[in-house]
Structure 1
Amino acid sequence: MLLTISTTHQPATDLGYLLFKHPDKCQAFNLSFGTAQVFYPEASETKCTAALVLDINPIDLARGKAGANRQTLEAYVSDRPYAASSFLSVAISQVFRSAMTGNCKDRQELADTAIPLVARIPVLPSRGREGFLRGLFEPLGYQVNVRRLALDETFPDWGNSSYFDVELTHTIKLSELLSHLHVMIPVLDDDKHYYVNEDEIEKLLRHGEGWLGTHPLKAEITSRYLKRQRGLTRDALAQIAVEEVAVETPEQETQEDMIEKPMSLNQQRMETVVATLKANGVEKIVDLGCGEGKLLKLLLKEPSFQSILGMDVTYRSLEIARERVLDKLPTHQQGRLQLIQGSLNYRDARIAGYDAATVIEVIEHMELDRLAAFERVLFEFAKPRIALVTTPNIEYNVKFENLPVGKLRHPDHRFEWTRSEFQTWAQAISNKYKYSVEFGSIGAIDAEFGSPTQMAIFTAK
């Protein structure tokens, strides 16, 4: 069972400081189920690779506790000593325990820095096949290269197995990479070799801090990590901080509709966005936080928009968009629209390369401390030529007779900004990411309070 971690961050041998394992030594660690060894196949100033090799005796495994409840044949004919599983996950947490904390006395600045890292696992099971494997790592910003392994290379007619040779590439903190691997490996294997109880929830929350709450596959990750025990899964999900855009309930929709419906504000927003996109001559558009596809439906009416991608964090919203929009398109038109699940807080290569990005009434659903991650995703990594962002103008709320004083327009809104606050935020993005920005108004303009919706139009310099 093998895991290698490589970096080209120079001096590359500083990887030894981060892992607390000297590149010139081969170290062995006795674990309850076998022996782990750490050594460095290469260690130079320009590239350094650390290898974790886990040696499990299959006979001891079959005769010990881990094999006690298995059928006779399964106990002795098993992939456990060879394929990455919870054994490797435990080895990572024990052998690299200090590295996973993110603390490094000799190189703390480096430990706090995202560096180029490549992790490779030659035999990684994926009970959900390749799509599930990619769905776990790509929303976290990884470039995922996979090669599916044959059942037996000498008998190609037998076809492929459910095992993959996987290489994960990312610029990330080492502690974050190790935490992701610790959680995802048993999730992919969909099994654990030890008894799972309430203590496992604490481990999941600790290693999932900062990313699990907004991961598109949060529920599936939680369920598999806790060995599909419904009670534990329910308790864990209740404790995970919900950072994703919440699925709107009919009651929430009714409240917002009651506030804005008299002025047809949502329709005005959509029409303004479409007109702005047409005026800028865009052909390829990604709608981030597309929800149930209201804007997508309007975009598809314009033949000049040749390629449209809708992304949302909630699977249910995408199902509705598929039913209401994609499935109703003529067959020859369906290729213009694609729907994907993803989070706006993580780098995603699928949303790069588009002329324009629309983020319509989305940012106010994010926690303020998550906006910086969203800014990088959109303006540093996706880098559209045009980006349209709309959000409520809180100053205008006093004009809504059926909105109580001090209340936001939607129960899920984390904030609503004044015009000055929105413009300050947008100008900071403009300065940092080499975009120019113009501001627009949507809806009737009041001399004192402005318009109900404010819009920023970012253009790449």
Structure 2
Amino acid sequence: MQMVIRALGEGAGMISHLLAKNPSNEYDREEKGARVRLVYTKCTEEETEVVLYATPDPIELVKGSPDNYDITQYINDREFAVSSLFCSYIRSALGTALNGKPKEAYLPWVGHPFQLELSFGPVASNLPDGIVEQLFTALGYELRVERGELPYSFELKSRSTARYLTFSGQQTLQNALRQLFVLIPVLDDYKHYFIGEDELDKIRRYGEGWLEDHPLRDLILKRTLRFGDLIGRYNEEVAGTVGSVGTEKEAGVSADVEPEADLAPEDEESTAAPAAADDGEQDAPQPKIRLNELRYQAIIETVEALADKTSIVDFGSGEGKLAAKLGWIDGVERVLAVEPSAVAQLRAIDRFAKMEGRQGAAVPTPVSGSLFYFDESLRGHNVMILCEVIEHIDEHRLARVMDTIVHEYRPEVLIVTTPNKEYNRVYEMEDEAMRHNDHRFEWTREEFRDWCDSWASDRYTVDWKGIGEEAEGFGQPTQMAVCTLRKEANRW
């Protein structure tokens, strides 16, 4: 995690006094489980450049966490990405400038606008470049977005979500840092702390004088404060208005972008359902159904129509929502919910426990597993489901996964769903943007069909379907392949 502060022009040397850090002295501290260092690479009256570097201890990141038994805690970017963690690490190093309290002799420089350039990264943001740019240009800055080169012989991703940002313009050092301390958590949408009164106070303090009039204020508040009561209090106390915060879609962000918390399509996406009949005086409002529910509904209807559905494997079952629904289908006797994350599996176990003893329920069995490891117990089941799973796997690894499924597990029916990349245009997403920050790829309808044909042609017949509201020329938001083992195929 790093940030560079650069000041140009007359008076640039005063930056060291505002930071209260002597360019000749070493700054090297341990802060909350991270080593924080500050060094001046240049310090003259015409140009000053300061580099801040934070190196977290990966063990400290998870020590004391209730999830410390889960190996997936180590499969993340928290050690490297500039996020709310970075802000907490460097607050003490920048506290004097952030609060505008240098020695008395330098107080007049607190309000002095410097020609500043601040660079930081990498930021692993689910926000598209256009929204990131608006966050900074609305404050009068110019923004430059850069992506690092990926040193792989294969195309891991055409455009990485990890970006380095540089914003520049005339601004006081204090205001630039205050704005940055608010916007970094907005970009990453990651919170390592409890969101409550302290966070509201931070928004009041650091957002004073600029946040009230920011055109993306609603987006900033929602991704920072999260909860409606805190947002309402800010609007009432600071902005003098009471009202709900607009959605990301109103701010120009697709509702189909899928961060962990508040933009996931299973939470925000919706499709109009047929309107119920009314008394004829007035059309009843059409209820909205989340896209994730439509996926489940499509999968369940497909399974219900099968002649043989005794045993089902749900790969990447997460918290067990789909697996639990499958357990209520007539004729289903066994559901294996396969999931690598212990945290998600614990939540699934709680969900499955509520089904115990209820008539007509086939209580799913949680299984720790991955598509990358062969498990003898997963062979020969009637149905295997990969619901929104394949796009989380590197494309070059899919051939191995499908070889295991087709030639080792050999289900009678394989159901696969994945996003339809063409539909991203309907959500007004940027060309290379993806719906989730963990998606390795997203395919057009033609690409999905070509991929299915590449492994299914000699063993499975494939029926393609769309899920969700259709848009002319773009199809439907989710595409589904129902692959049925050919009668002439030798299953074993």
TM-score by length of 2: 0.47
User: Which of the two has higher C-alpha Rg?
Assistant: 2
Question: Which structure is higher in helix share?
Answer: 1
